[in-house]
Structure 1
Amino acid sequence: MAAYAEAAPSAGEPEPQPAALQPAAEPQPEPQPRTLPHTWEEARTAAYEVARPLPAVDVELAQGAGRKLAAGIVALHPMPHYASSAMDGWAVAGSPPWILAGPGRRLAPGQASPIVTGGLVPPGAKAVLRSEAGLLSTDDDGLPVLVRGGAARPGEPKNGQHIRPAGKEAAEGELLVKPGTVLNPAHLALAALGGLDELSVLGRPAVQLVLTGDEVVQHGIPAPGQVRDAFTPQLGGVVELLGGTVVGLRRAADNLAATLEALADSEGNPADVVITTGATGRSSADFLRPAIAAMGGTFHVDGIAMRPGHPSLLAEFPDGRFLVGLPGNPLAAMIALLTLGAPLLARLGSSPLPPTFEVACGSPIKEYHGPTRLMPYRLLYGLASPCANTDSAMMRGMAAADGVMVVPPHGAKMGEPLTAFGLPWT
């Protein structure tokens, strides 16, 4: 039961299974010596401080949406880079009537040349006469000329009218978008108009998902003794909201060899972070810690004094990859991801530590002889009231929540301010 196993409700060891119920154990490497669990605050801070921001990378414009600029977007040429017409009509020089000249030729006073919207204004042109404001006629000698007429307004066209001068939007070298901006499609279009093909963006951590558990089924209604996979439809989307990019998903059976294989680095699709679900306990069916130890990993967080999510962990492999180990129960895993994964992904992506804030407790919360409780809440009349259905294996309360509040062991009184944090999808 590695995928949905979480420690019993105490601040210490999870309850061992009776020997008769335990599967035959495989030979396991000795994990590193166990240390005292981190507090929720310590674990969150450690996950942020243990990493360093990833280096900036160059991406093509089409891949830039949602990324954060490392270097500002600077116009590589005047925008627009040539004087163009804002109307269909004629480029004209001097006063009417105008003799028609060939397209692209320099215009002398008294000459005109047909032009379309966006067309290059020929040298010598002083304005553009709209097509509906001009008439083609003949002069006294029977030669074709252009005169004002139709919908022409008095004095039209004035000098410079309907001409978009070069550099009107931006001069060459002008800053168009500041560093640190999260790029949207309009920014990408602006960069293209500025002459850029690529943009320098802050690194975005690549994440490999590893889901464990022999009892997990991916489709339909599970049989007794089985559990439905709640992570495949959920985890990748949350990782993306937290600033990561999922580069792969692997599944590992509940044995050491399968776990080691799933945790191995992928040369073709390398990851910065591995996020696992399940197998974070210490039973004979949980192989995550032995696998980390066998791969030479270092444990930065090995257990957190919180409920749910107590057996969560954060480790680092010799190759520089980080591992965030989430418990197998759905709510416990989400709390652990927001506690450890969110700060780690933020740091790697050059973002600040996700903020916390205070909420007023909406109902008395009893003392709890154990660790800090992380409780999804709903905001009702400005007060944060704990959601129902928030056991470790439940998701109904989290699905209805506005945020998560941090409740100390002594509980909370009505109206008492409590630390809280938001959910990435709210």
Structure 2
Amino acid sequence: MLAQEVLDAPALSSSCGKEHAPTWSEARRLAFAFARPLGSARVPLRDAIGRELASDVRARQDIPHYASSAMDGWAINGSGPWTLVSSGTRLGHGEASLIVTGGLVPDGAAGILRKESGVARGDGLLTLRPDAKAGETLPGRHVRPAGEEATAGDVLIPAGTRLNPAHIALAAVAGHDQLSVQRKPQVAVVLTGSEVVTSGNPAPGQVRDTFGPQLDTVISQLGGTPAGQRRIGDSYGEWLAALSGSSADVIITTGGTGKSGTDHFRAVLAALGGRLLVDGIAMRPGHPAVLAGLPDGRFVIGLPGNPLAAMVALQTLGEPLLAALGNGSLPEPAQLTSGADFEPDHGRTRLIPCTLAHGLAIPVSHTGPGMMRGLAWADGLMAVPPEGLDAGQAVSVMPLPWTAPASH
């Protein structure tokens, strides 16, 4: 999305209560709709595997670009016997020269005689073996003509293809050193909280960092490119420096999305001229999640500080946003069968880690907003609607980034 479009977009806020916040499914659609593909970038062949091709790959010359031998043997002119001459010289009638598979067929050669079909005599003559197959000396025999696979200008790989290793080999054969691929969004992470420790057992009043060791991997699994992590405290100045100092397409912050006097997310965004696009979501956990746009077109995703809430919020807003920026499609949940009953929770969707077995979505235990134990063994997130549901009813399930098949 263009910067001005972001700033002009209507914000959706939960400031008047959860009933005014977008639903979980609405928030995902909005995050996808606010973004536009970032465009293309040229990368070396080895870096293009798994990327979406942005422009057609064409053959720069005929493939193969010269007539070559399909066999080890001799290039021949005439029906034999033949006088053996040096390889690489033009062949006259009745002459032959040694050639290997893939070797350049010399001028004057009419075909290739396989080594199994000929006998090189000590007097410099090549003769046909008595048991040679019929047609071994016919013109064009065992010759790979130039342009057999493709001619110059042919489209070998169309734009939009998700490139695999064989595509890369084909591009190399076609003479390419770099390919134009859809650019992946650069995603920076700002880790906040003076109470956060990065090693050992936290003391009372401290918490262990759960984001730093794993967020870069999750960003890659969601289709982004990690662009570094920055750890800051809780001051306004640190927040302002972190958000204004990053050139990444998307900045993800952890914590500070509340509205207390020590939460600076919204104040810093206002100082930078940004706009809140989604301010809270009618879901649990993760309802304080925020999506904002900055005047230069960058996006900021504010995640809650609780680990499970943050992961739910990242998949809710980050997955569709990164998909749109990378020219992907909006990931849609699977429809499975609930393996449990759920009471109504009016006004909000519950995102519950679950395991999947035989088409059933079965909730796991230990799924409080600050817990990671349940998520560690889950396969997906089941979206329980506000009205609740009974076991046996259909339920939407989003696979977790590390369990979903690669799609970015």
Q: Please, what TM-score do these two structures have when normalized by structure 1?
A: 0.86
- Asked whether 1:306 is paired with 2:286, we answer no
Partner of 1:363: 340
Distance in structure 1 (CA, Å) of the matches to 2:319 and 2:141: 55
Mapping of 1:141-160 within 5 angstroms? Answer: 143-149=123-129, 153=133, 155-160=135-140
**Please, which of 111, 117, 125 is the counterpart of residue 101 of structure 2?**
117
Secondary structure of the 1:260 match is helix
Give me the whole-angstrom Cα distance separating, in 2, the residues matched to 1:40 and 1:51: 18
- Root mean square deviation of aligned Cα: 2.3
Write out per-residue CA displacement over residues 276-311 of structure 1, whole angstroms, 9 at most, x where no aligned residue. 111111223322222112211100011111101011
Cα distance in structure 2, aligned partners of 1:227 and 1:396: 16
List per-residue Cα deviations over 1:339-376 (Å, max 9, x = no partner): 11111111111111111232211111122355211112
**Worse-superposed segment, 296-305 or 123-132:** 123-132
- How much has 1:399 moved relative to structure 2? 2.3
Report what 1:126 is aligned to: 110
Question: 1:154 offset after TM fit, Å?
Answer: 5.2
Give how far 1:192 is off: 1.1
Distance in 1 (CA, whole Å) between partners of 2:295 and 2:130 is: 79
Which of 112, 116, 120 is the equivalent residue of 1:136?
A: 120
Which moves more between the two structures, 64-73 or 196-205?
196-205
Structure 1 residue 419: deviation in Å?
Answer: 2.2
Stretch deviating more after TM superposition (283-292 or 76-85): 283-292
Q: Which residue of 2 aligns with 1:79?
A: 63
Q: Please tell me the residue identity of whatever aligns with 1:170.
A: A
Residue 83 of structure 2 corresponds to residue 99 of structure 1: yes
SS in 2 for 1:82: coil
Match of 1:240? Answer: 220
Whether contact under 8 Å (1:210, 1:251) holds in the other structure is yes
Does structure 2 conserve the Cα–Cα contact (< 8 Å) formed by 1:207 and 1:246? yes
The secondary structure found in structure 1 opposite 2:121 is strand
Identify which range, 330-339 or 374-383, moves more after superposition.
374-383
CA distance in 1, matches of 2:238, 2:351: 32
Given the alignment, which residue of 244, 255, 262 partners 2:235? 255
Return the letter of the residue paired with 1:215.
E
Per-residue CA deviations over 1:2-53 (Å, capped at 9, x if unaligned) read xxxxxxxxx9899xxxxxxxxxxxxxxxxxxx99422212211111111111
Q: Spell out the pairing of 1:275-314 with structure 2 (5 A cutoff).
A: 275-314=252-291
Output aligned runs, 1:215-234, within 5 Å: 215-234=195-214
Q: How do 1:310-321 residues align onto structure 2 when only pairs under 5 Å count?
A: 310-321=287-298
Closer/same/farther in 2, CA of residues 151 and 284 from structure 1, 3 Å limit = farther
Q: State the match for 1:341 in structure 2.
A: 318
Could you say what secondary structure the match of 1:108 adopts? coil
1:81-137 deviation digits (Å, cap 9, x = unpaired) = 111123332211222221112322222232111222221111221222334543321
Q: How far apart in 2 are the matches of 1:386 and 1:271?
A: 36
Question: Structure 2 stretches of 5 or more lacking a match?
Answer: 1-13, 404-408
Question: Which secondary structure does the structure 1 equivalent of 2:176 belong to?
Answer: coil
Letter in 1 for 2:239: T
Alpha-carbon offset, residue 330 of structure 1: 1.5
SS at match of 1:411: coil
Deviations 1:140-160 (A, max 9, x none): xxx411223499545535543
User: 1:173 matched to which residue of 2?
Assistant: 153
Residues 185-194 or 413-422, more deviating: 413-422
CA deviations 1:303-341 (Å, max 9, x no partner) are 111101011000011111100111112211111111111
Query: Identity across aligned pairs (percent)?
Result: 53
1:394 aligns with 2:371: yes
What letter corresponds to residue 302 of structure 1 in structure 2? D
TM-score if structure 2 supplies the norm length?
0.89
Structure 2 equivalent of residue 374 of structure 1:
351
Stretch deviating more after TM superposition (226-235 or 183-192): 226-235
Structure 1 distance, partners of 2:377, 2:138, is 62
**Alignment match, 2:167:** 187
Counterparts of 2:298 and 2:196, CA distance in 1: 26
CA distance in 2, matches of 1:90, 1:222: 77
Alignment partner, residue 400 of structure 2: 423
User: Does the Cα contact within 8 Å between 2:19 and 2:282 map onto a contact in 1?
Assistant: no
Q: How many residues align?
A: 390
